[in-house]
Structure 1
Amino acid sequence: MTTIAIIGAGSGLGAAVARRFGAEGFSVALLSRNQGRVDALAETLSAEGIEAKGFAADVRDPDSITRALEAATETLGPIEVLQYSPLPQKDFMRPVLETTPSDLVGPVEFSIYGPVAAVHQVLPGMRFLGKDKGTILFVNGGSAVKPGRNVTGTSVAFAGQAAYAQLLNEVLGEEGIQVSQLIIGGRIIDGDPEKDPAVLAGHLWDLHAKRDRFRLQISSD
């Protein structure tokens, strides 16, 4: 059995993805800063018959991500799918003319240093699993493709992450490792036909299983 590691796992999209991949036989590693929250989510999923375990990790600390993913592999098995989907902090979202150099440190650590550390940690295991197995999934808001003047930090950092993801897609695709990005415009909305967590989780499963596209964009309209 292989594992999906969800960085930024919570009770919304993270839980929905855990259930979708868990239904396909995946073990689930739940990574978040709050150990108590991921432990509680893991307990809920375990009661539903999904093997899951929580691991504490701060995405702004590359060493923390490396340690958590290493522990997840040792506990649950090889990581076949990595999902990077932490929710940005509110203080990353300042108007452009109020954004100083120091205001960009957090967003860059969060959206660029974090995923780079995660990818480097899981890539050897994905290569070991063989061709057409490993998948790296990035989940971003709409500012990744259309910057917003009032959300400067995420606009700049998400754009950098999108560029990194596209470069990975080009290079790792040659090895049979799929890299895809799901862009979600606006909020995730329970019960919405397009942006309900379970619907979005289905899209993420398809990106992994079908392996036929880099980017899927869900509009905010």
Structure 2
Amino acid sequence: MTTFALIGAGPGLGLASARRFGAAGHRVALVSRNARNQEQLVAELAGEGIDARGFTADVLDPASLTAGLDEAAAALGPVEILQFSPVPRADFMKPVLETTAADLGAPLAFSVLGPVTCVQAVLPGMRKLGRGTLLFVNGGSAVRPSPGVAGTSVAFAGESAYAAMLHEALAAENIHVAQLIVPGAIRPDAEHSSPRALAERLYALHAERGDFRHYAEPMPG
């Protein structure tokens, strides 16, 4: 049995994705900073018959990310699917004219160095399996930069470029890379952007292995 590793485990999209991939037979590694939240999610998933465990790591700390993913693979089995969808901090979203060089350090570490660290941690296991999926979830500023949220606009663009290059470079190794853009807010009542709908979409991206970039909703004009 293989593992679905979720970077950014929370009660919304994270829980919905864990539930969807767990229901498909994967063990679930919940990777986040908050161990108490992990315990609550693990208990909820266990009630549904899903084998899930929490692993504490900080996206801004590459060593802890690598250690968490290595521990998850050792405990649950090799990571076949990685979903990178942590929620950026509010202070990453300053207006562009108020954003200094120092302000960009944390967003770039979060959205560029974090994904690179995660991929390097799980790629050897995927290669050994002979298959794998890397899923990246981003807001609309990843493809349409907004002067009101400069940090995420710059950092998501870097993450998008990295993921797009992976899509091309890993295709021959049966490792699929896909990005899901969620232009607006994730809302429980949204037809296409509810946690459940997005989790279904992410599972389809894993199973169908098509193009790189996909949109949960059309981008506003």
TM-score (norm 1): 0.97
2:47 is matched with which residue?
47
1:59-116, Cα deviation, whole Å (9 max, x unpaired): 0111110000011011111100000000000000000000000100010000001010
Report the counterpart of residue 60 of structure 1 in structure 2.
60
Q: Matches of 1:117 and 1:91 in 2, distance apart?
A: 22
Q: How many Å apart are 1:218 and its aligned residue? A: 2.1
Work out the CA distance in 2 between the residues paired with 1:23 and 1:53: 15
Task: Indicate the percent of aligned positions where both proteins have the same amino acid.
Answer: 56
Q: Distance in 1 between matches of 2:111 and 2:160?
A: 9
Take 1:64 and 1:22, find their aligned partners in 2: how far apart are those partners? 24
Match of 2:180 among 175, 179, 182: 182
RMSD: 0.8
What corresponds to 1:108 in structure 2? 108
Match of 2:216 among 204, 214, 218: 218
| CA–CA separation in structure 1 for the residues paired with 2:16 and 2:189 | 13
Shift of 1:47: 1.3
Which digits, 9 at most, give the CA deviation of each residue in 1:161-211, with x for residues without a partner? Answer: 000000000000121100000000010010211111110001100110000
Q: Hey, what does 1:172 align to over in structure 2? A: 170
Task: Pick one of 149, 158, 161 that aligns with 2:159.
Answer: 161
> What amino acid is the match of 1:138?
F
**Structure 1 letter corresponding to 2:200:** G
| 1:204 aligned residue (202, 205, 218) | 202
- Map of 1:71 onto structure 2: 71
Q: Is the counterpart of residue 81 in structure 1 residue 104 in structure 2?
A: no
Instruction: Find the aligned partners of 1:148 and 1:212 in 2 and give their Cα distance.
Output: 28
Q: Would you say 1:29 and 2:29 are equivalent positions?
A: yes
Residue 213 of structure 1, CA deviation: 1.4
* Structure 1 counterpart of 2:142: 144
Which contiguous aligned blocks of 4+ residues in structure 1 show a shift greater than 4 angstroms?
A: none
Distance 2:211 2:189 in 1: 26
3-state SS of 2:58 partner: coil
Matched residues, number: 219
Separation in 2, partners of 1:137, 1:162: 11
Offset from partner CA, 1:95-151 (integer Å, 9 cap, x none): 000000010001000000101000000000000111xx2000000000000001110
Unaligned 5+ segments in structure 2 are none
